[in-house]
Each structure stands twice: as C-alpha cells, then as structure tokens.
C-alpha cells in the first residue's frame, strides 16, 4: 500500500458508534465485524476515495492532539486490515 | 420489588450502547399451529393484530439509520406472511441480517431460494420436539412433525443454516436420546439447542400435562448431561434442564467447598438482554423482551426507538435489576445458594410471581431439592 492510495469505504458496511470510545464496523454481507476506537472512526469517515492515506493521516494528526508520529504507519495498517476484509477498496494511484 | 429494597437499589444506569444491536420482531400474530405450551397465544399481554408491510418497512428504515445489525423474525409463525419477501427486501436494503424462529411447516422452495439469494440469512430456528411424529405431534398437532422435517430439508437444500430447538416437556422427556440421534446422526445437523416448556401463555392451561415434574426434570438433566458428553458439545442451551443441570452442579460444588460468591452472584443479574437487544410485538408495541410482553415501552413509527432505548425508565429499571440483592427477598431467606444464584429469567419470574423484579421460582435450586430433586 502506498501513501498515495485513496481508500473508499465499502458503502454496505455499517458504522455503529456504540459508546463514546468504541465503535463497530459491520459488514452485513459477510457478518464480519471490526471494533475500532475514535481515531478509527475518524479514519473511516474520511475514506471517500478522494483523500489519500497520507491526506487522512495528516488530518488525523491535526484533529487528535495526542496522535503519535507513527500515525501514518498505524493508519495504513488499519486501512490495510480493512481492505483485506473487504471493508474498503483502494483507488490506486496510476503511475 | 419488595418495598425495603427500593432504597438500596437507587438506579445507577450501567453504560448502555447508543442503539440496540439486534431486535426480535414478531411480524405476525397468526400461526398455522396451536402448540399446547405456546407462550405467545393465550397470553393476556398480547394484542393479536398484524401490521401491514408498509409499517414494518418504515420501521426497518429507522433500524437502518440506527445501525442495527440483525433482526430475528418471530411470531406467531413468520412464514405465514404472504408478503415476507417484501419485508426481507426492506431488511436487506437497510444493511441488516436476519434470522427466523419458526415451526418449519410453511417453508417451501420458493421462499428458501429467496432467502438464500439475499445472502443475509443467519439461520432459521425450527422447533423439533420428537424423534418421530407421535412424540412431536403430541403437543404441536397432527402433521406438524412432517412439516418441520420437510422445512428443515428444504433449508438444507438451499444451504441455509438450520438451528433446531427442542422444547422439553412431559411427552418427550423419555425420547431425548432418540431425538439427539435423529437430529445429529440422521438429519446431519451440526448441533441443536434445548429448553423446556415454561409457565406462560397456553402452557398455563395445560401445565399439568406439559410441564416437567421433579422426577422428569431430574431425568432430563441427567440424560442431557450424558448426551452432551456423548455428542461432544453439539447440544446446547440457554435455559431449561441442561442449563439448570450445569449451573446447579457448579452451585452445589461451590457451596459445599465454601467458595467465594460467583461473579454477579447474589443479585438479580441473570438477564443481560436489555443491554443489547429489544423486542417488538406483532401489533407494533415495543417491549423489552417477548417474555415481558406486558411492559409496553412505546410504539413503532410513533416513538423514537433510540429515545426509548436510551431513556425509557422501565427499560433502565430492568437494566438495573443487577443491583437488587437476593438477600432482600423473603423467597430467598436463609438460602445457602444465594452467593451463587442470579435469580434467573425475569419473564418467568413475572408469570410465576406477578413481579418482574423477583427471582424465578422455576430456577430455584433450593426449592428443587426440597421437592425431591437431586443434582445430576
């Protein structure tokens, strides 16, 4: 996965914000669910196929005071995990 | 709730998720059968009136907007609705999955193919109460066994998961070994669940003929514990003799050895349902649970489900049953099992005592032993 890849949230996936600090992404077609924290929710809401992972990471770092320097790496890993499960698609940067 | 307990149980609402994860919806009050222990019919809390499809579809839109993940369709018999495909389309459109509680007799290839085609069906629970028609039909009516098995085979052909539930009563308690063999070996089901007929609805009028007596409960517990070992965990339960047998064995062991109280022991902690799901009656009344059908919290399409879920005083009171100590109940006075007891099902507690906030006498180990019971 590259910094320039633009993730798109699978529109069939449901975001359930269950508690202030906990949410679930649920794919009704597969019954798979992934738990996530507020940062994950913020990432999810930005995966519109227009922002690159780099863009999303930059926005997250600005939005969350305690976002670590390794935010990009962690966000990329999160997006990658979602992509493997079919929760997001990736718009690849053409070269 | 006993008066003296009220001061001790000042509501401290535990953290509740913003919306329910799942609902049980009785989409119809009609049924093709009249089972002798049915909790649904002859229940004074029920209103036997069906809603048109458009009311359900509007409600499903609300559920979709709340991020509800799953609905369980019950009744009555849910497959009796001629417009079922329209309802299922509404569920699918709103990004939910679905399952059914059914007697199986009205399931045909057409509806099974439709359900399979959605890719959203979790399972269909079909009731099978005997290894043969004679036993099964004794409480469910002539022809119901053939219908149930035909329904199961239809679902299997369409690769829809079948979850059989065996309700244990006086007429099938001696057939459990045959039932397990029939379901697991002959029908090839991966597993099945059990419970027992409870003192609700139609059963109240047939209690002497249907409900297990002490000797039969002992037999059911011993047989089921033996069969679970034989079939390596392929028999499960959330209530009934198998659950009682397992729980009571643990309780007796803990009491005899003077072990510390169980987690959540000694209070009315048995039911966690109101923290993650809610129910709707066939007439559209929103209730905490199908077993507490008299506790009306609001109506679909008139009241906000999210508002009810988060702020209903009746629902929050139910969620706070866990703060009510068993030591305050006269029923529990002097009982040495209190540290290990959770009070069990509030629905059954209500039908047997008239109080929701009361331990269920049906699941009382001390009473069971005093009446001649023994732990398997």
Q: How far is B160 from chain A (nearest CA, A)?
A: 14
Structural contact between residues B115 and B161, judged by C-beta atoms closer than 8 angstroms: no
Tens digits of per-residue pLDDT, A50-90? 999 999 999 998 888 777 777 788 899 999 999 999 999 98
Structural contact between residues B342 and B269, judged by C-beta atoms closer than 8 angstroms: yes
Q: Which residue in A28, A32, A86 has the most chain B C-beta atoms within 10 A of its own C-beta, making it the best mutation to test that interface? A: A28
- Are the beta carbons of B67 and A15 separated by less than 8 Å? yes
Residue of chain A minimizing CA distance to B306: A18
The three-class DSSP label of residue A18 is strand
Partner residue opposite B17 with nearest CB, options A15, A18, A31: A18
Residue of B9 and A7 predicted with greater confidence: A7
What is the predicted pLDDT for the residue at B7?
35
- Are the beta carbons of A16 and B119 separated by less than 8 Å? no
User: In A, which residues are within 8 Å of B19 by CB distance?
Assistant: 16, 18
CB pairs under 8 A between A and B: 33
Sign of CA dihedral B55, B56, B59, B64: negative
- Are the beta carbons of B69 and A19 separated by less than 8 Å? no
What is the predicted pLDDT for the residue at A67?
73
Structural contact between residues B197 and B172, judged by C-beta atoms closer than 8 angstroms: no
Start-to-end Cα distance in chain B: 33
Between the CA of residue B282 and those of B48, B75, B288, B337, what are the distances in Å? 7, 7, 14, 39
Which pLDDT band holds residue B182 (cuts at 50, 70, 90)?
Answer: very high
Partner residue opposite A16 with nearest CB, options B15, B67, B120: B67
> What would the CATH number be for the domain defined by A6-86?
3.90.930
Q: Which residue in B17, B64, B70 has the most chain A C-beta atoms within 10 A of its own C-beta, making it the best mutation to test that interface? A: B17
What is the predicted pLDDT for the residue at B8?
36
The DSSP code sequence of B294-317 is T---EETTTS-HHHHHHH-HHHHH
What is the predicted pLDDT for the residue at B376?
77
Average pLDDT, chain B: 94
Can you give B321-358 as a three-state secondary structure string? HHHCEHHHCHHHCCCCCHHHCCCCCHHHHHHHHCCCCC
Residue of B42 and A3 predicted with greater confidence: B42
What is the predicted pLDDT for the residue at B14?
63
Helix %, strand %, coil % for chain B, to 5? 45, 15, 40
Residue B360's φ and ψ, nearest 5 degrees, are -80, 120
Which pLDDT band holds residue B304 (cuts at 50, 70, 90)?
Answer: very high
Query: Whose CA is closest to A64, among A38, A46, A88?
Result: A38
Tens digits of per-residue pLDDT, B340-357? 999 999 999 999 999 999
Partner residue opposite A19 with nearest CB, options B15, B21, B95: B15
Q: Is the peptide bond before B229 cis (omega within 30 degrees of 0)?
A: no
Q: How far is A63 from chain B (nearest CA, A)?
A: 24
| Residue B49 C-alpha from the chain's centroid | 22
Residue of chain A minimizing CA distance to B120: A29
User: In B, which residues are within 8 Å of A14 by CB distance?
Assistant: 67, 69, 95
Tens digits of per-residue pLDDT, B234-253? 999 999 999 999 999 999 99
Q: Which residue in A13, A18, A33, A45 has the most chain B C-beta atoms within 10 A of its own C-beta, making it the best mutation to test that interface? A: A18
Q: List the beta bridge partners of residue B280.
A: B25, B286
Which pLDDT band holds residue B311 (cuts at 50, 70, 90)?
Answer: very high
Partner residue opposite A31 with nearest CB, options B17, B92, B97: B97
Which pLDDT band holds residue B3 (cuts at 50, 70, 90)?
Answer: very low
Q: Alpha helices of B158-240 — where are they, by DSSP H?
A: 176-180, 202-205, 207-210, 214-230
Q: Which residue in A13, A16, A27 has the most chain B C-beta atoms within 10 A of its own C-beta, making it the best mutation to test that interface? A: A16
pLDDT at B70 > cutoff 90? yes
Tens digits of per-residue pLDDT, A13-46? 999 999 988 999 999 999 999 999 999 999 999 9
What does the pLDDT average to over B32-59? 95
Distance CA B226, CA B243 (A): 13
Structural contact between residues B341 and B365, judged by C-beta atoms closer than 8 angstroms: yes
């Amino acid at each position: 996965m590259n910094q320039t890849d633009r993730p798109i949230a699978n529109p069939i996936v449901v975001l359930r914000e269950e508690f202030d600090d906990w949410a679930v992404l649920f794919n009704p077609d597969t019954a798979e669910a992934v738990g996530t924290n507020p940062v994950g929710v913020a990432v999810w809401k930005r995966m519109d196929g227009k922002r690159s992972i780099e863009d999303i990471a930059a926005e997250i770092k600005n939005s969350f005071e305690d976002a670590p320097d390794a935010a990009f790496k962690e966000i990329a890993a999160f997006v990658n995990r979602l992509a493997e499960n079919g929760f997001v698609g990736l718009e690849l940067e053409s070269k | 709730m006993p008066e003296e307990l009220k001061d001790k149980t000042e509501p401290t609402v535990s953290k509740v998720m913003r919306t329910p994860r799942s609902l049980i919806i009785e989409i119809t009050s009609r049924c093709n059968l009249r089972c002798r222990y049915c909790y649904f019919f002859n229940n004074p809390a029920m209103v036997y009136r069906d809603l048109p499809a458009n009311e359900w579809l509007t409600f499903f839109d609300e559920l979709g907007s709340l991020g509800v993940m799953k609905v369980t369709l019950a009744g009555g018999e849910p497959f009796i609705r001629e417009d079922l495909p329209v309802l299922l389309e509404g569920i699918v459109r709103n990004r939910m999955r679905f399952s059914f509680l059914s007697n199986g007799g009205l399931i045909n290839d057409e509806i099974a193919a439709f359900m399979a085609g959605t890719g959203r069906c979790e399972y269909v629970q079909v009731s099978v109460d005997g290894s043969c028609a004679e036993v099964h039909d004794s409480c469910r009516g002539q022809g119901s066994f053939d219908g149930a098995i035909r329904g199961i085979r239809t679902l299997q052909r369409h690769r829809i998961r079948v979850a059989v539930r065996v309700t244990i009563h006086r007429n099938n308690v001696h057939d459990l070994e045959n039932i397990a063999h029939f379901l697991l070996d002959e029908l090839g089901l991966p597993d099945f669940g059990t419970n027992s007929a409870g003192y609700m609805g139609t059963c109240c009028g047939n209690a002497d003929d249907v409900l297990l007596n002490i000797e039969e409960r002992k037999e059911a517990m011993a047989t089921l514990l033996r069969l679970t070992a034989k079939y390596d965990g392929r028999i499960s339960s959330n209530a009934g003799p198998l659950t009682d047998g397992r729980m009571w064995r643990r309780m007796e062991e803990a009491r005899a050895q003077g072990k510390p109280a169980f987690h959540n022991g000694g209070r009315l902690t048995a039911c966690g349902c109101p923290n993650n799901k809610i129910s709707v009656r066939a007439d559209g009344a929103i209730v905490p649970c199908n077993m507490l059908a008299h506790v009306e919290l609001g109506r679909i399409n008139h009241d906000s489900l999210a508002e009810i879920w988060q702020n209903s005083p009746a629902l929050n009171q139910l969620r706070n049953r866990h703060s009510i100590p068993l030591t305050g109940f006269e029923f529990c006075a002097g009982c040495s099992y209190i540290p290990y007891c959770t009070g069990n099902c509030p629905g059954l507690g209500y039908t047997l005592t008239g109080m929701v906030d009361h331990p269920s006498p049906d699941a009382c180990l001390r009473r069971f032993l005093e009446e001649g019971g023994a732990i398997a």
